[in-house]
């Protein structure tokens, strides 16, 4: 576990560049192999074993892969919700019913995202989730997550908190992205667990 003792948004931007640079060197085979291991580890989580509704996301590029996990959850009878990015960077949600329920959507100059093509359920739909799977770039020993900086999931976490929702928060990462410390801001919230291809680490009771 490496030591990172920076603070503030400027330091977050520097860290994001560092983690993204490491991811950019991953091959397609690296990503595929990690995705299989990640799904196996995640599916062993008690939280997912008992979940009726899971809010997740479709990985893109060299992000830790989620498609195998999404399909495995569906096969268990779990209702899987996926995000759709809104113009203000908030997230709407739609149900995942298989690969053919996804559409590639280009958001300005950002990377194209795979989003649910069916009915939009509204931003508050995430409050029905038993587990929320979060993207990120790193998590530290306290469970503080370093996101990409768009603020979309900060809004999701704030919405869950204001609704009194008790969803388990789980971030999906590569092994090298579990670090000693990431910069923290007042609005940041810790996650309950991180899943990597080699295992699970918990931070607080869910």
CATH number at residue 154: 3.40.50.10420
Residue 133 labeled ligand binder: no
Q: Is 147 annotated as a binding residue?
A: yes
Task: With 0.75 as the threshold, say if the pTM is over it.
Answer: yes
Q: In this structure, is residue 1 part of a structural domain?
A: no
Residue 9's pLDDT is what? Answer: 66
- Is 145 annotated in a binding site? The answer is yes
The predicted model gives 146-164 an average pLDDT of: 90
User: Is 151 labelled a binding residue?
Assistant: yes
H or E element in which residue 67 lies: helix 67-75
Q: What's the pLDDT score for residue 8?
A: 61
Known binding residue 150? Answer is yes
Q: Is 47 annotated as a binding residue?
A: no
pLDDT of the residue at 5: 42
Q: Give the three-class secondary structure for 54.
A: strand
Look at the block and give the residue holding tokens 């503030």: 8
To the question of whether residue 40 is assigned a binding role by annotation, the answer is no
Q: Is 23 part of any domain?
A: yes
Alpha carbon distance 26, 16 (integer Å): 16
Is it the case that residue 109 has pLDDT exceeding 70? yes
Taking residues 180-202, report their average pLDDT.
Answer: 89
Does residue 4 belong to any structural domain of this protein?
no
76 lies in which domain range?
Answer: 9-202
Say whether 149 counts as a known binding-site residue: yes
Instruction: State yes or no: 152 annotated in a binding site.
Output: yes
Beta strands in the chain (DSSP E): 53-55, 79-85, 91-95, 102-105, 113-116, 131-134, 138-139, 145-146, 168-172, 193-196, 199-202
pLDDT at 149: 79
- The number of domains in the chain is 1
Is 108 annotated as contributing to ligand binding? no
* Cα–Cα distance, 4 to 193 (Å, whole number): 19
Average pLDDT, the chain: 90
Which pLDDT does position 40 carry in this prediction?
A: 95
Question: Residue 183's pLDDT band (boundaries 50, 70, 90)?
Answer: confident
Please tell me the predicted confidence (pLDDT) of residue 129. 97
Which residues is 139 bridged to in the sheet? 145, 178
pLDDT at 3 over 50: no
Please tell me the predicted confidence (pLDDT) of residue 59: 93
């Amino acid at each position: 576990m490496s030591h990172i003792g920076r603070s503030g948004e400027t330091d977050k931007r520097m860290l994001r560049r560092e983690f993204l640079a490491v991811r950019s060197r991953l091959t397609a085979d690296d990503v595929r192999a990690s995705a299989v291991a990640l799904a196996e580890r995640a599916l062993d989580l008690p939280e997912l074993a008992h979940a009726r509704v899971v809010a997740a996301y479709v990985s893109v590029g060299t992000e830790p892969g989620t498609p195998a996990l999404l399909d495995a959850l569906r096969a268990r009878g779990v209702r899987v919700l996926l995000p759709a990015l809104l113009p203000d960077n908030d997230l709407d949600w739609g149900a995942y019913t298989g690969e053919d329920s996804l559409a590639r959507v280009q958001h300005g100059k950002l990377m194209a995202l795979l989003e649910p093509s069916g009915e939009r359920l509204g931003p508050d739909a995430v409050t029905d989730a038993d587990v929320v799977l979060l993207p990120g770039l790193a998590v530290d020993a306290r469970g503080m997550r370093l996101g990409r900086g768009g603020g979309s999931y900060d809004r999701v976490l704030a919405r869950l908190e204001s609704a009194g929702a008790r969803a388990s928060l789980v971030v999906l990462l590569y092994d090298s992205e579990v670090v000693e410390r990431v910069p923290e801001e007042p609005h940041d919230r810790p996650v309950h667990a991180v899943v990597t291809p080699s295992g699970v680490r918990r931070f607080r009771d869910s």
